[in-house]
Structures are given as structure tokens and as C-alpha cells.
Amino acid sequence: MTFVSWMLARPQAILALFAFVILGGILSYQKMPLNLFPDSNRPTVSVITSWPGAAAKDVAAEVTHPIEVRLTAIDGVRRVTSTSRDEVSAVQIEFEYGIDISTAATNVTTELPRVTGLLPVGVRTPLIFKITEAARPVVIIAATSAKGYNLNLGQIRRIVENPVRDELLNIPGVAEVEVFGGDGLQVAVDLDRDKLQSFAIGPETVAHALIGSNVSKPAGLVHRNGYRLLLTAQALVRLPADLSEILVPLPGGTHVRVGDLGSVTWGASDPTSLYRGNGAPAVAISLLRGDNGNASVVIADIETALPRVAKNFPMLALSIADTQGRLIHQTVGNMLDSLRDAVIMTLVVILLFLSNTRAAFITALSIPLTYLLTFVVLHLIGYEFNMITLTAVVIAVGLLADDAVVVIENI
């Protein structure tokens, strides 16, 4: 007895199998992760290095070129590209397929210290970024002042960059929170040119005094009575008044206070970003998912947690200005509608051309069961619903129609 004959002799087994496929397909469909696109790009790591005050030509020769040469030697590197602009160097390292993005970033982090010691004085520590689909924000929140508080964008940014950011990072699936827009707080030292000339000093002398007086570094150890005491040289300033009391050395060996050379007040840093959310100036909060995170799940968690976060900060009005969720659900919904329409059109074509109601009815059962089984397999092997997988499923309707016609004709 063949397997087919054995199954046909036991219709209850076939019904149980069909019920299992239907239940498994429905559960897999509901639990299938949703993303807009699969992460099909080669693993890419970007190294951003800042050199304040340097021209693009100097950045290319003194910063970009040494970093490129060093990072090209890493195993698995396919291509290294770079861009040099005034004050900024950007080097992108593209790895071969099959190399995990975290491994690639670790290799770059390990290799960079071998070249950073050769860079010019004043070059800041390079920043390393993993370039993946997860680098695109899943949700952008616009933060503005709540009614009755009248906070400016600088004050809003200071609140967002610290406590608000910490709370958002606690949301499951959120790997990074980036803030842009608004003014950064800093101390403004406005020097009086006439006073500088009267004391025969330049702005650089004041700058060196400010840098040298705002420090916190170890100063050694003291061993006494069996105890070891750690000494720290600490002279940190916290308010503009502290900066105004710093002493600036004069050519004659005397000193003058910074406050006697000009005014020291709270000020705003040079604007580097501007954002308008929901039609008004705002501070933007970009929330990024992890490399292995699921966009639809993370978005749902963010939308659930946002009212709680907003309640903890009544001085802020937090609203979602942009989200991948709309596009993901619209795209996936359109693809599923196309799948439904394709199945219906297939059944209509079979009914019209074969003029066999029983065959059309069998096809109407077999095609949905086939797709439910497909959902089970996709879920078990770790796939997700995105434009690529759903397009493949829709195209497969034609193959199923051909197979159904051939089977019916043979029967």
C-alpha cells in the first residue's frame, strides 16, 4: 500500500492534518514579524572623526588617509570609501557578506587605536557607527513646550537629552535615542578687546587659562598608616561665576580674573540642526531599534510607553511626528490585498475555463491551505513579512494556478 492510499483510507487523519495546517498558519501569520525591507546590504561601519578648525585639505591628508590605510588591512574588508570636509572626516568600511555587523564593528574598534596615536593634536576621538536598516529611526517624537510652561528650545533639549532619553532607552527593543534640534547650552565668554590690549594679552592666553583650570585628573597615591589614599586634582567649574574667577597669567608675573576681561554668561552653542515637527519648531527625538529587532513590535512598544513618559514630564508636549509603522502596515496590507485578489482571480479563471465547479472548489481549498503552510514554514525558519517575501508569495500564485490546472486535467 502506497502512502497516498494509506492516507486516503484514513480521512480523519487528513482532516486532522488540514486542521493543524490551518491553526499553525493562522498563528504564524499573527506572530510573523513586520518590517519594510530586509537587511540585505553588506555590513558597513562608518568612522566619523572631528578636527575642529581644520580645512578639508588638511583633514584628508592628516586624518582620513591614515585611517583608510589602517582599516583597509582588516580581514574581510571589501571596500573603503571616505569623505573629507572642513573639520570632519568620514570613512566607510564595507565588509563582505557573511560577516556579522557586530563583529565588523568590533574589528574596527580594535584596529583604530593603532592609528589614533599618529593623528595630529586636537583631533577628537573617532566615533563608530554601524550602518544597517536599524540605523533608520522607527519613530521620531517631536518635543515642544506644554501649555503654561513657555520653555524655549534650548531648555527643552536639556530636559530631553538627560531624563527623557534615559526613560526612552528603557523601552524594550529601543537600542539608541538620538536628539537634534534646539540650542545646546554652554557658557559664553565675551572678551573686551580694549581690556585685553591694556593687559598686553591675547584671546589664546585666556583660552589656555580656561582649559588648564577646568580639570579633574589623578594626582597620585598617599600611603599612611596602612591605608592607601587616592589624590585627585579637581578644579571643575559648574557656573559662569566659577569661570569668571579663573586667574589669567600676565606678562609681568601677576594675574587677572577672566571676569575682569569681559562678561561670562550662559549662552547657546552654534546651531547645527533645525527641526519642525507637526508644523511647529521642536526638538526631535529619534528612536532606533536593535540590529535584530522587529520594527512593528518596537513601534507598538513605543506607542504604548509614550503616554507614561509624557506623564512623567508634564512640562513637555511629546507627540509622534513620523513613524515607519504607517508605511509598514500600508505596504504589508497592500501586498496581502494583492494576494487575496490573486487567489480570487485564479479561482474565477479556473471556473470559467474548466467549467468545473468541483475542481474550482477543490482549488479554493488547496491554495489557501498552501499559503497557510507557507506561513508556518516562513515562521519556523525565521523569516519576516516585508516587501520581498510578500512579493515572492504573490508571484507564487501563478505557479500554484499552473499546478492546479495540470493536476485537475490529469485527474
Average pLDDT over residues 295-308: 88
Q: List strands edge to edge, sheet with 88-95.
A: 77-85, 88-95, 44-50, 127-131
CB atoms within 10 A of CB 323: 19
Computed from CA positions of residues 34, 36, 41, 45, in that sequence, does the dihedral angle turn out positive or negative?
negative
pLDDT of res. 11: 78
Grid cell 563582505 — which residue?
A: 96
pLDDT of res. 90: 93
E strand segments, 96-245: 127-131, 139-145, 174-180, 185-191, 216-224, 227-234
pLDDT of res. 194: 87
From residue 249, alpha-carbon distances to 210, 213, 254 in Å are 11, 12, 6
Cell digits for 367? 491554495
From residue 369, alpha-carbon distances to 26, 90, 235 in Å are 10, 52, 73
Grid cell 521620531 — which residue?
A: 140
Cα Rg, the chain, nearest whole Å: 32
Cell digits for 316? 513637555
- Tell me which long-range contacts 378-381 makes (C-beta under 8 A, separation of at least 24): 378/28, 378/32, 379/28, 379/31, 379/32, 380/28
Average pLDDT over residues 341-363: 75
Q: Residue 343 above 90 pLDDT?
A: no
pLDDT of res. 393: 81
In contact, 266 and 257? CB cutoff 8 Å: no
Q: Residue 136 above 70 pLDDT?
A: yes
- Rounded-to-10 torsion of CA 335, 336, 339, 343: -160
Average pLDDT over residues 213-225: 75
Grid cell 510578500 — which residue?
A: 390
Distance CA 105, CA 109 (A): 6
In contact, 219 and 233? CB cutoff 8 Å: yes
Cell digits for 273? 540642526
Q: What is the pLDDT of residues 370-409, one digit of tens each?
A: 888 888 988 888 888 887 888 888 787 777 777 767 777 7
Grid cell 545646546 — which residue?
A: 184
Q: Residue 4 above 80 pLDDT?
A: no
Distance CA 204, CA 112 (A): 31
pLDDT confidence tier of residue 1, bands split at 50, 70 and 90 = low
Average pLDDT over residues 281-298: 83
Distance CA 12, CA 46 (A): 59
pLDDT confidence tier of residue 208, bands split at 50, 70 and 90 = confident
pLDDT confidence tier of residue 89, bands split at 50, 70 and 90 = very high
pLDDT of res. 397: 72
| DSSP conformational letter for 34 | B
Q: What is the pLDDT of residues 8-58, one digit of tens each?
A: 777 787 788 888 888 998 898 888 877 777 777 788 899 999 998 888 999
SS3 218: strand
Distance CA 240, CA 47 (A): 35
pTM: 0.69
Q: What is the pLDDT of residues 303-337, one digit of tens each?
A: 999 999 999 999 999 988 888 888 877 877 787 78
Q: Residue 83 above 80 pLDDT?
A: yes
User: Domains plus CATH for the chain?
Assistant: 3-37+327-410 (1.20.1640.10), 44-131 (3.30.70.1430), 186-268 (3.30.2090.10)
pLDDT confidence tier of residue 2, bands split at 50, 70 and 90 = confident
pLDDT confidence tier of residue 94, bands split at 50, 70 and 90 = very high
- Highest averaged pLDDT of the listed ranges 111-120, 220-229, 236-245: 111-120
Average pLDDT over residues 273-294: 83
